[in-house]
Structure 1
């Protein structure tokens, strides 16, 4: 019996180098197909991706949206529509993961081996994230990522110990999601996927299994400058938008990220956000030691330049 083939679908709006790095990294690690939807039409990036035999790239231009209906204003529904489009295509992979261009799969054992042993009743598997700490070392060396404990009581206790100033309000010490992303079987009638969950009719995440030997390396706050540059958009329309629920103590004084950040800004307009970022993302020795003691420190090397040179040599 042959090993299952896997692929990725992603909706991306980013500079060409970032898109090629994302694609090359996953091709280098065995992705059989990448279905990439360019959220803003980009001829140069489209041409570069289309030349690779394992990449299926779509310009989500006016013609594309004319077939899908009106282009949603927010990127989250656009992601969902594009994921559905990829799922409906001629099946070229056995498993498909819906992830973003700042997320990179890392596995302790080859992903096909992990997928091959899943029971037939498992239609989807969850890959939990580890979040990048700031790092100025070379890309040719591993960089640190922080994890979190899965059981909530343990998670909250550890988080408050590692991040004493802000940890009581931040889920696992993460700036972004802890839900991770799904990889799911293809070719199932009535199956659909959203950003963090999958559905078969009304059944959410049917047969879900946690892939404990796979991680999603998330470069959400990889350095202060990039985090600051994306902060306003994320607070208005992205991961920190106002309508999201608080991670815990919902309705009992718990703060969502939007409210927490608003309070931090109000209390210290100049240094508040810097202090928040520094506590959660600066790889100071005490934090690295604490993460290590709890088994939550992970080191992964992405080396995107090497991946681009291998998979897209004309653009290296």
Structure 2
């Protein structure tokens, strides 16, 4: 039972190679990587690996697949993921994830996929979110029916603005069985004949380790882009936990900046994201802390030993 990953990547070469190496180490049979900028260094290293299919998303590529380059990166991701799905079949299952996401399981992913009933064609893996400043500590997905209560208890100041206590998505990503007709793969879902799969199976044996904010500096560096065009943009819905206040993260962050300046953003980061003994204790009290060593350096050295990064 083989599986592969597709990703549209815009990141430093070392980050891309670590992402690729990690998933090759986990047993990925194919990686379909779409470089969103002219990263020649990454391209030439990845091109040499037998299990990697890499494309430079230049003017010629976009002219061929969609007429022109879509302005929104979310649209480019969808076009590329669907393009990867429609390639000649080389794997049994394909998932679309981002360069800061890593599939984690306690057993080979191929063994897990082998147990999926033949009637199921779409599988969902839920995320866990890195604590900023740590390389191994993650807050895990809350599946409990009292999720809103737990989130407000763990994050007393900002829990009402957080879906599941996460700064980023809780939807996770999906695996889609290859070989089906009329498939469109989007960021968090897949569609057949423009209809979402109604029988998507929750795959609890695999988690998606999401390194959304590796540190305060990394989070702050990405903040303005996310606020304008990414996961904190104004058109996204507020968390269900917001209740009648119905304020999304975009509005929250703008309010914090207006009232408290940079200190407001730092206060949010310290309560919700940053690795601290206090946050670890709050998560541990509810069984929501997991330690995972992704061991990216070792994977990089093994799968791309001659890369200069």
The reply to whether TM is greater than 0.5 is: yes
CA contact (8 A) 2:183 2:193 kept: yes
Q: Secondary structure at the match of 1:314?
A: coil
Matched, 1:158 2:150: yes
Partner of residue 106, structure 1: 104
Residue equivalent to 1:306: 298
Using the TM superposition, give the Cα deviation of residue 251 of structure 1 relative to its aligned residue in structure 2, in angstroms: 8.7
Q: Deviations over 1:112-152 (max 9, x none)?
A: 1211111122111111000000235xx6xxx100013124x
Task: For 2:161 and 2:86, locate their aligned partners in 1 and report how far apart those are by CA, in whole Å.
Answer: 40
Displacement after TM superposition at 1:203 (Å): 3.0
CA distance in 1, matches of 2:243, 2:162: 16
Alignment of 1:127-206 (within 5 A): 127-136=125-134, 143-151=136-144, 153-206=145-198
What residue number does 2:201 align with?
209
TM-superposition CA deviations, 1:8-60 (whole Å, max 9, x none): 00000111000000000000110000000000122111000000000000000
Shift, 1:172, TM fit = 1.7
User: What is the Cα deviation at residue 282 of structure 1?
Assistant: 2.2
Q: Does 1:16 align with 2:36?
A: no
In structure 2, how many angstroms separate the alpha carbons of the residues matched to 1:81 and 1:13? 15
1:70 aligns with 68
Alignment of 1:276-295 (within 5 A): 276-295=268-287
Matches of 2:165 and 2:243, distance apart in 1: 21
Contact 1:265–1:273 (8 Å) recurs in 2: yes
2:234 corresponds to 1:242:
yes
Alignment RMSD (CA, Å) = 1.5
SS of 2:54 mapped into structure 1:
strand
- The corresponding residue for 2:89 is 91
Q: Which residue of 2 aligns with 1:50?
A: 47
- For residues 239 and 157 of structure 2, what CA distance do their matches in structure 1 show? 17
8 Å Cα contact 2:160/2:241 also seen in 1: no
Runs of at least 5 residues in structure 1 that lack an aligned partner in the other structure: none
Q: How many residues align?
A: 307
Question: Could you report, residue by residue, the CA deviation over 1:180-222 in whole angstroms, capped at 9, with x for unpaired residues?
Answer: 0011101101122110011112431242111111111011012
Residues 130 and 212, structure 2, Cα contact 8 Å, conserved in 1: yes
For 1:278 and 1:287, locate their aligned partners in 2 and report how far apart those are by CA, in whole Å: 9
2:223 alignment partner in structure 1 = 231
Report runs of 4+ in structure 1 exceeding 6 Å deviation: none
Q: Distance in 1 between matches of 2:247 and 2:197?
A: 27
Secondary structure of 2:245's aligned partner: coil
User: 1:115-130 counterparts in 2 under 5 A?
Assistant: 115-130=113-128
Residue by residue, what CA displacement relative to the aligned partner does 1:142-176 show, whole Å, maximum 9, x if unpaired?
Answer: x100013124x511111111111111111122110
1:263-293 CA distances to partner (integer Å, 9 max, x unpaired)? 1111201300001001011232232122123
Given that 1:8 and 1:31 are in contact with CA atoms closer than 8 Å, whether structure 2 keeps it comes out as: yes
Question: Which structure 2 segments of 5+ residues have no match?
Answer: none
